[in-house]
Structure 1
Amino acid sequence: MSAETFTLASGGQLPAIGLGLWKLEDEKLGPIVRRAIELGYRHFDSACDYGNEPAFGAALEQSLADGLCKREDLWITSKLWNTYHAPEHVRPAIERTLSDLKLDSLDLYLIHFPIAQQFVPFDKRYPPGWFFDPEADEPAMEFDATPLHETWAAMESLVDAGLTRHIGVCNYNTALLHDLMNYARIRPDVLQVELHPLLTQERLVRFARERDITVTAFSPLGSPSYVPLGMAGEGESLLDHSTVKEIAARHSKSPAQVLLRWGVQRGTAVIPKTSNPERLEEDFAIFDFELTADQMQRIAELNQNRRFNDPGTFCEDAFNTFCPIYD
């Protein structure tokens, strides 16, 4: 079975489903990436901040050496961390990622958050995380006065240099996209944001689509990744929701497959995370059925504007700094 793709404004083909690498431990990452490639996954979503790019790079290198696929068949995404927003740090940041991944170029490089923080040298701490100085008596985030337009211009230079084929943004709202589209020389190809039936973000998705920006949904299953972090409650699982379970039963599919199908069918790529080989196979098997218009609507009506990944909450709770980016 092969995945569907979405055609980007600049012509690339983004696979509709990918494997998200957030929170994947190094020792599990190699086997799960290899198995994913064997199953047909070609889209992998990484980031400096995940701390596992060297392990991911080793897995990619071995899979390519073993002939499981060709580099040109893969779609590899990574992200610029907050501490590297100043123009002089953008190229060194992607070069460090490329070195860790053992690649010459990325398919997509994204601004991870619209938050500029003070630079932390690579040899001091990598990945740098959210604290400026974790050893301080009262550690906190420290912001940097770099405008987003300067960061974007540096991102454009990465395309010019052949270090990435496409660029885009994560965690932007409509106002930031409006502004970006006014100054971008190279327009963003992809917007990656939290999307699931509890947070459908209809206006943002529509705005991006009307501007020819392809949307990728992170956390497409909702709460599972956030419960262990205390950022979601046990009772918020969409996998146990009666509507989702009923629709899944009608299609002889799992609730997870229905949620992922809903994301893809509404025109967004999805990047679920799992370290379970059986779940990995299950997540990929979403291209042999379709939800009806009524089922799509019933799932969309579960929306509660419930955001699990919100810097306005977790930065204050975990990093002693109030840092809202959503009103």
Structure 2
Amino acid sequence: MRFGAFIPQGWRFDLVGIDPAEQWARMHGVAAQLDDGPWESLWVYDHFHTTPVPSGEATHEAWTLMAAFAASTSRVRLGQMCTCMGYRNPAYLAKVAATVDIVSGGRAEMGIGGGWYEHEWRAYGYGFPDIPDRLRMLREGVDIMSQAWRTGTATLNGRYYQVDGAIVQPQPLQDGGIPLWIAGGGEKVTLKLAAQVASYTNFTGSLDEFDHKNAVLIEHCRALGRDDSEITRSSNFNTIVAATEAEAEQRLAGVIERLRPHVGDERAARIEAEYRASDAFGTPTQIVAKLAERAEHGLGYAIHYFPEAAYDRSGLELFASEVIPALR
């Protein structure tokens, strides 16, 4: 199994109480630890407003961070889970991503999806198209980016995007362009698009739900004549790890108390339950067992969100020293 980790960037109230002038140092500190450790990749979210409720707390922009990490790390790969297709013109996005790939020495990934956070869509003036329209936008955008990275130009007279000889030079350093991660479990469009173009998928849920989505992906691959083993399956995990179960509970209590003033008691209770149900909550031994079971069902890449990382990186260290070696 391969491993990545998210950088705290504020979206999930994970920079609360840290002076904005100090937040980059905290983010970069996590990135440097990942770069020096056994992790394959670092990740950011592509959002503008905090979740599950919008607030005035900081949320740092994803592709600006991609450029910053490209220049300030040396080994770890750089991804977003996931870039929202509707937030940027796809020819422009292809250009931005190609520049990040060059600055990083060929370490960029492209996590891409249709988007879902209605509040920020409307607040930023993007409207909020229906799901079918967002997914068609995703399909057209992926076509434009793929053209640009393969050939250096892109042309498409689409329903949502029109580009005419858009030049994307220099092209990415990676042969064939930047790897595409198609994020989401939509069975008719998203997983079919993944079967067509993705190097990676990203969908979550229970083990039964994972198995179902995986089966749908395999059927799409068969219909297209593609070997599904060419596509690595990934999932994201809320992660709190500690040497003992009691310490894991203490860590979780601290996370929830930090969130409670911002999200309220009801949402805090739901978030707490989600953490407890995560396959990455508990001791290293417990987490290894649960992730090993996921691997038996086809999971090849686990991406972990550590809610404490901006304040305490000991969980990252424990995971890197005891969980990753047991599964890698």
TM-score (norm 2): 0.57
Q: Quote the offset at 1:84 in angstroms.
A: 3.9
What amino acid does structure 2 have at the position aligned with 1:83? G
CA deviation digits over 1:261-311, x for unaligned, max 9? 444454321111221321112222324447xxxxxxxxxxxxxxxxxxxxx
Q: Residues 159, 278 of structure 1: CA spacing in aligned structure 2 closer, same or farther, 3 A cutoff? A: same
Query: Is 2:178 aligned against 1:168?
Result: no
Q: How does 1:112-131 map to 2 (within 5 A)?
A: 112-113=113-114, 130-131=120-121
Query: Is 2:27 aligned against 1:29?
Result: yes
Q: Is the 8 A contact 1:220 1:272 kept in 2?
A: yes
Q: Is the 8 A contact 1:108 1:168 kept in 2?
A: yes
Q: Quote the offset at 1:166 in angstroms.
A: 1.5
Q: Is the 8 A contact 2:238 2:305 kept in 1?
A: no
Distance 2:302 2:237 in 1: 8
Distance 1:181 1:257 in 2: 28
Q: Is the 8 A contact 1:110 1:170 kept in 2?
A: yes
2:200 is matched with 190
Q: Is the 8 A contact 1:216 1:271 kept in 2?
A: yes
1:51 is matched with 61
Q: How does 1:288-303 map to 2 (within 5 A)?
A: 288-289=325-326
1:297 is matched with none
Query: Is 2:323 aligned against 1:286?
Result: yes
Query: Is 2:228 aligned against 1:215?
Result: no
2:109 is matched with 108
> Percent identity between the aligned chains?
8
1:17 is matched with 3
Q: How does 1:139-158 map to 2 (within 5 A)?
A: 141-143=127-129, 145=133, 147=136, 148-158=138-148
Q: Quote the offset at 1:155 in angstroms.
A: 3.0
Distance 1:207 1:96 in 2: 32
What secondary structure is seen at the aligned counterpart in 2 of 1:272? Answer: strand
Q: Quote the offset at 1:142 in angstroms.
A: 2.9
Q: How does 1:224-243 map to 2 (within 5 A)?
A: 228=259, 229=263, 230=267, 232-238=270-276
What amino acid does structure 2 have at the position aligned with 1:111? I
Q: Residues 130, 104 of structure 1: CA spacing in aligned structure 2 closer, same or farther, 3 A cutoff? A: farther
Task: Give ranges in structure 1 of 5+ residues lacking alignment.
Answer: 5-15, 118-128, 291-327
1:317 is matched with none
Distance 1:92 1:116 in 2: 22
Q: Residues 279, 100 of structure 1: CA spacing in aligned structure 2 closer, same or farther, 3 A cutoff? A: same
Say how many residue pairs are matched: 237
Task: Give ranges in structure 2 of 5+ residues lacking alignment.
Answer: 16-23, 48-59, 153-170, 222-227, 241-251
Query: Is 2:302 aligned against 1:270?
Result: yes
CA deviation digits over 1:106-142, x for unaligned, max 9? 542132336699xxxxxxxxxxx823336xxxx9943
**Higher share of residues assigned helix:** 2
Q: Quote the offset at 1:104 in angstroms.
A: 6.2
What secondary structure is seen at the aligned counterpart in 2 of 1:132? Answer: helix
Provide the alpha-carbon RMSD of the alignment: 4.0
CA deviation digits over 1:129-158, x for unaligned, max 9? 823336xxxx99432856243223113224
What secondary structure is seen at the aligned counterpart in 2 of 1:270? Answer: strand
Distance 2:113 2:8 in 1: 13
What secondary structure is seen at the aligned counterpart in 1 of 2:114? Answer: coil
What amino acid does structure 2 have at the position aligned with 1:143? P
Q: Residues 280, 215 of structure 1: CA spacing in aligned structure 2 closer, same or farther, 3 A cutoff? A: same
Distance 2:303 2:65 in 1: 19
What amino acid does structure 2 have at the position aligned with 1:58? A
Q: Is the 8 A contact 2:87 2:126 kept in 1?
A: no
What secondary structure is seen at the aligned counterpart in 2 of 1:194? Answer: coil
Q: Quote the offset at 1:46 in angstroms.
A: 2.9
Distance 2:65 2:140 in 1: 31
What amino acid does structure 2 have at the position aligned with 1:61? A
What secondary structure is seen at the aligned counterpart in 2 of 1:44? Answer: strand
